Amino acid sequence: MFSLPLRDDARLRPLETWHAEEFAAHMDRAREHIRPWVGRSFVTDDLGGARETLRRYAERQAQDGTRLYGIWLGDTLVGGVMFTDFATALGSCEIGCWLEPAAEGHGLVTKACRALLDWAFTDRGLHRAEWHCRADNDRSSAVAKRLGMTLEGTRREAWPYGGARHDKQIWGILASEWRAGHR
């Protein structure tokens, strides 16, 4: 099994359908914290929803599409990173992340996203990667900056949540920039 160390006590591994119970327990700890920042279809409320989310990602990965990876701190799933879009024909992808509160501030997401970008640009030969986040999500914007991404624009009122519409930032990095050391 693939497992990439992020630091001594943290690892990045594929998050697969057989992790449904663990993912559901993690969502119980993370749900309200991440709900404003991630897509509605990702935030599950029960074991059945957790299974469905993991199944959906597995099916898309089997077709060389989206992929989902968990971040384990010790033996506990605390968050993850993903390719929310993966289009080899276009040479582009979008990456995203989520963490429960106890795991924030340790650099885990940045390290995990670097691994995804290395793989996308080096192994898969993609040309471009994007990062989308609400404009008021300072932690997410900070990750994009640490990855060397450029803020390319803001889609005004593109993110509906909680009865309001929020601006959405689009960050990007090209393979040539990544290889030149802008990571």
Is 90 exceeded by the pLDDT of residue 49? yes
Structural domains in the chain plus CATH codes:
4-179 (3.40.630.30)
User: Which backbone phi and psi does 15 adopt, to 5 degrees?
Assistant: -105, 110
Mean pLDDT of 129-139: 96
pLDDT band at residue 89 under the 50/70/90 scheme: very high
Residues 56 and 59: their CA atoms lie apart, in Å, by 5
Mean pLDDT of 124-151: 96
* Helix axes of 47-62 and 20-34: crossing angle, nearest 10 degrees: 100
What pLDDT, on the 0 to 100 scale, is given for residue 1? 59
What pLDDT, on the 0 to 100 scale, is given for residue 167? 96
Residues 102 and 129: their CA atoms lie apart, in Å, by 28
Mean pLDDT of 68-85: 96
Mean pLDDT of 104-123: 95
What predicted TM-score, i.e. pTM, was given to this entire model? Answer: 0.92
What pLDDT, on the 0 to 100 scale, is given for residue 182? 54
